[in-house]
Amino acid sequence: MRELVYERWSSEKVVSKIMSHIKELKKNGEPLNSKHAQINHSRLWRIAWDYFGFWDNVLKAVGLDPDIERKAKKGFNPSRPLGRSKLAPSLEQETLLLKKGNIAKLTSVMRELRKSLKQSPTIQEISQGSSTSVKQVNEWLVYRDQLITAYMKLAKQLATDNYYYYLNNYGYTSEKLEDFIAKGYLLLSESFEQFDWSNSNGSFTSYLRSVFETQLEKSPFGTNPYAESLDKVMFVSRGGREITFGDAVAVSKDDVFDLIVSNEYSSNEPTVKNRILSTYLKQLPRIFKEIVLWDYRIKYQAKTDHEMAKILNIEVSQLYSLKNVAIRKLKAINAKGA
């Protein structure tokens, strides 16, 4: 049902497809109580709800007894988070998966990346042939470091969510997906090192998109979690702005902030994609506050919240209020398309 383009079909054809699909699920021994269908076949459940009104009506339409189906719990785990397939590993298995193989390398990759940022490129290399001051370059390096950390957190979060999505919908094995996620995560870190940050016209967004498109294997449906993220989530940009050296600080904030205020992908529709996006977007306000926080720290040369509050002669709680005001102002600016 994933590929069902039901909007283009007549009501009769949609109903016929729904009924034949439900019969097929029943033939395969699937429990068809409403909760199980909502979790494991969310797209089917939503379309059926649109056309039949209640799930019980769907079951009756294909000659099934709703009361009997409600008691059929085979293979259904009510404690499983929404969106996970029956094939998803248990918590213990998941922990082992994250610890073994390529995934285990990610922590050391992150550590090495941060280390390399402090060493290369040098301030002289970046500012060569331009009027950029040493102070501006220093500030940019700090922002770049923070931005990389934010991207890494988001990439790991999305990769984990997409693990179950692709395991269920694309038939990937756990080993294949583990390699796939690790490769995408490693490509992200390598891209930060390989991109020419000194090019004032360079777009990191476009560069990263091309890396993912050319170096990551596509799913049977012609997409992959990272490419989808780039196109539909990570780089929602209202003014066509992208991360460039020339406007690094302002644009870095805009790119992260646009994700928070964008409502294009915030539908409450009970589909796997929107559940992933909802989880993803919830992570952003905290990360955005961290970036705003660095703005204050650079300006006042403070290392901690408490130190910064002391310099400003205010309480720490007031400092957070200031940050929230800054966020609201930026939200208003973005809402106007500035």
Report the pLDDT value the prediction gives residue 170, as an integer from 0 to 100: 47
d(CA 72, CA 45): 17
Q: Is residue 91 within 8 Å of 167, Cβ to Cβ?
A: no
Spatial neighbors of 136 by CB under 8 A, at least 6 apart, are none
Report the pLDDT value the prediction gives residue 28, as an integer from 0 to 100: 72
Alpha-carbon 272 to chain mean position: 12
Tokens coding 318: 């007031």
3-state class of 141 per DSSP?
helix
Q: Is residue 121 within 8 Å of 196, Cβ to Cβ?
A: no
d(CA 288, CA 235): 14
Report the pLDDT value the prediction gives residue 315, as an integer from 0 to 100: 72
- Report H helices in the chain: 11-27, 34-40, 42-52, 55-61, 66-71, 91-99, 106-119, 123-127, 134-169, 174-194, 204-215, 225-229, 248-261, 272-282, 284-300, 305-312, 316-335
Report the pLDDT value the prediction gives residue 69, as an integer from 0 to 100: 66
In the chain the first and final C-alpha atoms are separated, in Å, by: 41
For 302, other C-beta atoms within 10 Å of its C-beta total: 18
Which regions of the chain are under pLDDT 70?
1-16, 31, 33-58, 61-62, 67-209, 212-213, 215-305, 308-309, 311-314, 318-338
Closest CA to 253 of 206, 295, 283, 298: 295
Report the pLDDT value the prediction gives residue 81, as an integer from 0 to 100: 33
